[in-house]
Amino acid sequence: MRITARTATRIKRASGKHMVIFGIRRLGKSALTGASETSCPEGFFPCKTGKDCVRRQFICDGRADCPDSSDELSCGDEHVREFFKNYFQKRPDEDREKRSKKCDWVYPGCRCMGRSFYCENTGLTKIPPTVPADAIDLDLSGNVFTALHSSDFPKMPYLETLFLSSSKVEELSKNVFENLPSLKDAYLLGNDIVWLRDYTFQGSKELENLVLSHNALRDISPEAFSGLENLSILDLRNCALRRIHPKLFRPLESLTSLWLDENSIETLHPETFTALKSLEILSLTRNKLTTLSSPCFDGLSLLLTLNLAYNKLRILETPFLGLDELLNIDLEGNHLDFIPTDTFQPLKKLQSLNIKKNPLRSCSPQVFASLQNLTHIYFSDFSMCSMALHVRVCEPRGDGISSLAHLLDNVVLRVAAWIVAIIAVGGNLLVLVGRVMFREHNEVHSFYIKNLALADLLMGVYLLVIAAHDVRFRGEYIRHDYRWRHSWSCSASGVLSTVSSEASVFTLTVITVDRFISILYPLSIKKRTLRSATCCMICVWLTTFLMAAVPMLWPDYYGEDFYGSNGVCLPLHIHDPGTKGWEYSAFVFCTVNTIAFSFIAYAYLSMFVTIKHSKVGLRSTQQLHDRAIAKRFAFIVGTDFLCWMPIVIIKIIAIAGIPIDETLYAWVAVFLLPVNTALNPVLYTLTTRLFKQQLHCFLAKLRECRRAAAERHSAQSWSSLPYDRSFKRNFPSTSSDVSAPLRFLRFTAFDTVETDALRNPRSSSSSRSDP
C-alpha cells in the first residue's frame, strides 16, 4: 500500500488489522485506505468506489475529495423535495394556454378549448345548463354559488375535472356530484363551507383528488366521505377543524396522501388512521397537538412521510410503533426539550429527520444510534451534529462562527483573532509597564488608565485562548464541540470576556465622571486622591466579577450553557435570543451599556460646550491640562461607541424576532467586540505627546549611559597599559584626557534635568503636552 500523505496514523479495526488514515488534498481532511464500505470509523463515510473514506465535515462541501467525486453526490434531501412537490399541487390543465383546439360552444363570459370549458369570474349564480355533455374539464371559479345540489349540475358523464374555487359555496347537498360519475378531481378550495353532511360525496366512486382547503370547516360527519373508495388525495388544509371523528377516514382505503395542516386539532384518537392501509403521506403541520399516544398512528404500515412540524409537542412517548416503512419525519418548530432514548427505535428505515427550532440543546447519542439508515438530519444548532456522527449529512454546517470542521470557520476571522489578540496583549502590557516606569504628576488619572489597560488586557487573553483552541481543534471541531462548550475553560473564557468588556465600560464611565467634575466644577470639591480612586476601582472590579459570575451560580435559571451557547463562549445569545437567561444578557449588553454610554455622551458634550465658551485667560494650567484630557477621551469614547452601539442595536433587533445573518454575528463576536481593546492603548497612551516625550527622554538617557560606559571602559583600558617610551608617545594629550570627565558631567546634568522633568512634568515643557 502506497501512502501519499505527509503524515499517517495507524488504527485498529475490529478484525485486528491495521489501516492508515491520511489527508486528502487539503489540510484537515482525512481518508481511510484499505477499508471496505462498512469499516470506516465513526465520523467517516466511504466513497462510492475504491476503499477511501472521507470525514463528514467535508461531505457535500462543494469540493470533491473522493477519486470518483461521490462525496458530492446525494447532497440534497430527496424526501423533502418530494414532500414539497406533493404539497404544492399543479392544476391538471396547467398547459391549457398552449392548447390550440377550438370549439363552437358560446356562453356570455365563457370560453372553451376543445372539451375544456372556462367560466371564471363571470358573476354566475348557477351552472350554465348548456355545457356540452362531453365536457372533460369545467372551471367555475370566482363565481357565486351559495349552495350546490346534485340537480345544479347537468348530466356530464365524461367530466373528470371540476374547479369551484373561491365561489362562496356554503353548503354541499347529499350526493352532490352524482351527475358527474367520471369525476376524478374536485377543487373546492377557498369557499365558506362550514360542515360536511353524511354521504356528501356518495356516488362519486371515481373521485381520486378532493381539495377542500381554505374553507371554514368546523365539523365533518362520520359518513361524509362514504363512497370514496378510490380517493387517493384528500386536502383539508387551513380549515377550522378541532377534532376528527374516529370513523371519518374508514371508507378511504385507497388514500395515499392526507393533508390536515393549519387546523386546530388538539388530540388524535387511537383509531383515527386505522383504516388507512395505503397512506404514504400524512401532514399535520401547524395544529395544536401537545402529546402523541403510542397507538395514534396504528395501521399506517406503509407510511413514508410524517410531518408534525409547528405543533406544541413537548414529549414523544414512543408514538411511532408500527411505522416500519417510514422514511421521513419532520418535527420542526415544536416544544421538545427532551427525547427519550427509545423514541426512534422502531424507525429502522428512517432516512431523513428534522428536529429544528425545538428547545432541545442536548441529548444522548443513543437516541439516534438505532437509525443506521439515516442520511440527513436537521438541528437548530450545528453542535448537535456531534450526537449523530454516523449520519452522512447534518445541517446546519455552522453558526456563522464555527463549523463542523473549525471553531473559527472563516479564515479572515482566524487571522483577525490572532492579530487583535496580539495587539491587545502587547499594547496594553506596554501601557501598564510604561505608566509604572514613567511617573506622572496626575497619579489619579494614571491609575484609572492602568485599570482600563488591565481590563482591555483581559480581552486580549480571552482572544488568545479562543485562537489557541481553534488551532487545537482544527479540522475536527465537531468531535470536541460538546466537551469544549461545557468545559470550565469555556466558562472561564466567557467570564473573562464579560469582565473585560464591562470593566472597560465602567472604567470609562468613572474617568468621564472625574473629568466632568474637574472641568465643569473645578472648585466645588476637594482634590481627588489616589485612595478614593482605589476604592472606586475596587467597587468596579467587584461589580463586574459579580455580574459575570451570576449566571454560573444559578444554572436552573440561566441554563447549563449560558456561556457555552456558541464556540467562542460569548453570552450575546443573538442566534437564540429567547434562550434561558436572555433577560440578563439583554440587561448587561443593552441596558447597562446604553445607560453608561448615554451618560458619557452627555458628559463630554457638556465639557466641550464649557471649554468652547470659556476664556483661556481665566483658566489655570491645571484646567488647561484637564481640557486636553477631555478632548482626547472624547475621541476614545467615540471609538467605543462605534464598537458597542452596533452590538446593542443587533441585540435589540434579535430580541424583536428579526433574524440576524450568521456571518454578521461572527464578525460582531470575534472582531467588533474585542477590537476596541486593541485600539485603546494607541488612543489614550501610545500616541500622547507626554508619552512620546518620556519615551524619547528614556531612550536618550539610555544612549548616554551606553556612551559613558564605553568611555569609562576605554579610560580604564588606557590606564592599565604598562609604561614605556613607545606608549608615552601614543598616549593622548592632557586636553584630550580631560574631555572624558567633561562628557560624563554633561551626561549627569542631562540625567538630572530629564529626571526632574519626568517627576514634575508641569514645571517643564511637558506641562503643555497632551496626556
9-44 residues labelled b (16+ CB within 10 A) or e (exposed):
eeeebeeeeebbbbbbeeeebbbbbebeeebbeebb
What's the rounded mean pLDDT across residues 352-360?
Answer: 92
Superfamily of 298-396 according to CATH: Ribonuclease Inhibitor (3.80.10.10)
- Of 268-282, 413-427, 558-572, the least confident: 558-572
Report pLDDT for 96: 64
Report pLDDT for 253: 93
Distance from C-alpha of 311 to C-alpha of 432, rounded to nearest angstrom: 58
Report pLDDT for 767: 35
Judge residue 343's burial from the number of C-beta atoms within 10 Å of its C-beta, 0-12 exposed, 13-18 middle, 19 or more buried: buried
As separate numbers, helices (DSSP H) first and strands (DSSP E) second, the chain gives: 16, 23
Q: Name the average pLDDT for the chain.
A: 80
More confident residue, 707 or 223: 223
3-class secondary-structure state, position 453? helix
| pLDDT-based confidence at residue 98 (cuts at 50, 70, 90) | low
| pLDDT-based confidence at residue 766 (cuts at 50, 70, 90) | very low
Report pLDDT for 691: 65
Backbone angles phi, psi at 415, to 5 degrees: -65, -45
Cβ–Cβ under 8 Å, residues 215 and 192: yes
All cell numbers assigned to 128: 350554465
| pLDDT-based confidence at residue 7 (cuts at 50, 70, 90) | very low
Query: Strands, DSSP E only, in 317-379?
Result: 328-330, 352-354, 376-378
- Of 169-183, 198-212, 473-487, 716-730, the least confident: 716-730
Report pLDDT for 764: 37
Terminal alpha carbon distance of the chain: 69
Backbone angles phi, psi at 257, to 5 degrees: -135, 125
> Does the pLDDT value for residue 585 go beyond 70?
yes
What's the rounded mean pLDDT across residues 424-436?
Answer: 85
Torsion sign across C-alpha atoms 435, 438, 439, 441: negative
What's the rounded mean pLDDT across residues 20-47?
Answer: 53
Judge residue 559's burial from the number of C-beta atoms within 10 Å of its C-beta, 0-12 exposed, 13-18 middle, 19 or more buried: middle
Distance from C-alpha of 325 to C-alpha of 398, rounded to nearest angstrom: 31
> Does the pLDDT value for residue 466 go beyond 80?
yes
What's the rounded mean pLDDT across residues 20-29?
Answer: 36
> Does the pLDDT value for residue 26 go beyond 50?
no
Entry field: residues in the chain: 771
Report pLDDT for 3: 27
| pLDDT-based confidence at residue 521 (cuts at 50, 70, 90) | confident
Report pLDDT for 545: 95
Report pLDDT for 330: 96
Cα 575 off chain centre by = 4
More confident residue, 606 or 22: 606
Output the CATH code of domain 101-264: 3.80.10.10
Report pLDDT for 158: 94
Report pLDDT for 57: 80
Rounded percentage of the chain residues whose pLDDT exceeds 90: 37
Report pLDDT for 39: 73
Q: How would you classify residue 180: left for phi > 0, otherwise alpha for psi between -120 and 50, otherwise beta?
A: beta
Distance from C-alpha of 90 to C-alpha of 758, rounded to nearest angstrom: 85
Report pLDDT for 629: 60
Report pLDDT for 23: 37
More confident residue, 397 or 98: 397
Could you count the other beta carbons within 10 Å of the beta carbon of residue 409? 22
| pLDDT-based confidence at residue 15 (cuts at 50, 70, 90) | very low
According to CATH, the topology of domain 411-687 is Rhopdopsin 7-helix transmembrane proteins (1.20.1070)
Could you count the other beta carbons within 10 Å of the beta carbon of residue 86? 15
| pLDDT-based confidence at residue 262 (cuts at 50, 70, 90) | very high
Report pLDDT for 239: 95
Report pLDDT for 432: 86
Distance from C-alpha of 648 to C-alpha of 653, rounded to nearest angstrom: 9
Location of C-alpha cell 371523528? 245
Strands 209-211 and 219-220: unpaired
Cβ–Cβ under 8 Å, residues 607 and 703: no
Report pLDDT for 750: 31
> Does the pLDDT value for residue 276 go beyond 60?
yes
Judge residue 358's burial from the number of C-beta atoms within 10 Å of its C-beta, 0-12 exposed, 13-18 middle, 19 or more buried: buried
All cell numbers assigned to 66: 473522493
What's the rounded mean pLDDT across residues 63-92?
Answer: 86
> Does the pLDDT value for residue 13 go beyond 80?
no
More confident residue, 89 or 236: 236
More confident residue, 381 or 575: 381
Among 237-241, 430-434, 586-590, name the most confident range: 237-241
Location of C-alpha cell 352532490? 176
> Does the pLDDT value for residue 230 go beyond 70?
yes
Distance from C-alpha of 116 to C-alpha of 110, rounded to nearest angstrom: 11
Backbone angles phi, psi at 259, to 5 degrees: -110, 115
Strands 376-378 and 393-395: parallel
CA distances from 402 to 299, 548, 667 (A): 44, 24, 12
CA distances from 563 to 255, 408, 706 (A): 50, 17, 53
Report pLDDT for 140: 94
CA distances from 691 to 440, 452, 770 (A): 10, 17, 9
CA distances from 374 to 48, 347, 380, 435 (A): 17, 10, 18, 62
Q: What is the dihedral of CA 557, 563, 566, 569, to 10 degrees?
A: 170
